[in-house]
Amino acid sequence: MSNLIEIASKYKSTKKMMGFIDIYNYYFNTIKDKNLNIFEIGVETGESLRMFSDYFNKSNIVGLDIENKDYNIERVEIFCGDQSDKKILNRIIEKYKTFDVIIDDGSHKNKDVINSFNHLFPYLKFGGLYVIEDLQTSYIPNWGGDGVNLNNKKTTMNFIRSLADRMHYQDIDNPFYQKHDFDGLIEFVHIYRNIAFIKKQKRFYESNLCYKNSWYLGLKKNRKDFNFKSLRDLRYFIKYFIKHILG
């Protein structure tokens, strides 16, 4: 049996109840027989770890839970700790080095989700997937979400949306744009209802419109920089400088 949908029928993971299995099957189908490092935050009854151990039959599987979970599952190691605690994350990284798949199904607190992503993403392999479950908590204050200001920068959904900007960083028309650590490292951000899949890949695309983060320079085919003796260049530059200062 190698289909995740069939295997999942034997286990009681919350992934089934949330309707995530078909989506997982779509992404995992081509990698299931490889020797991978899979890391899931949030163990609960251990059912997802049992399911993954059954499905990814050559992989190491790591679980992390804030509560002590003493389950004995083949090729699975479970750590106890808080996903927002860098010390426990570093202990796991020290042992497993890098991961092919990271799944955040832990506290679902927006702050924890964002902090864990920022800390763990550098250790996701190129070609690897970072999955964030239960995005609905992005809209509920109890988890640090916001149902009123949907542009609130502190929510999981706005963080995930911002990852799409990391894909387009060369196209951002702002000569004062400050490069972000994850720029050029995101291949896709796929958002489904309540779950997102982010693929890491080294990508360098030249922008067809901007040059040095400027559409104005991009227009002037052979121009490599601004000419401050030109009033038009100066005007463009000052306009962005003011926008940059005002945020």
Residues near ligand SAM, by CB under 6 A: 13-15, 40-44, 47-48, 64-67, 82-84, 105-107, 112
Tell me whether residue 210 is exposed, middle or buried, using C-beta atoms within 10 angstroms of its C-beta: 0 to 12, 13 to 18, 19 or more. Answer: buried
Q: How many CB atoms lie within 10 A of CB 183?
A: 18
Q: From the CB of 151, what's the least distance to ligand SAM, in Å?
A: 26
User: Is 190 an active-site residue?
Assistant: no
Q: In whole angstroms, how close is the CB of 115 to ligand SAM at the nearest point?
A: 10
Q: Which is nearer to ligand SAM, 110 or 214 (CB)?
A: 110
Residues 6+ apart with CB under 8 A from 133: 15, 18, 20, 42, 103, 104, 105, 108, 194, 195
- Give just the sign of the alpha carbon dihedral 21, 64, 36, 54: negative
Smallest gap from residue 229 Cβ to ligand SAM (A): 57
CB neighbours (10 Å) of residue 140?
Answer: 14
- Residues with catalytic roles: 108
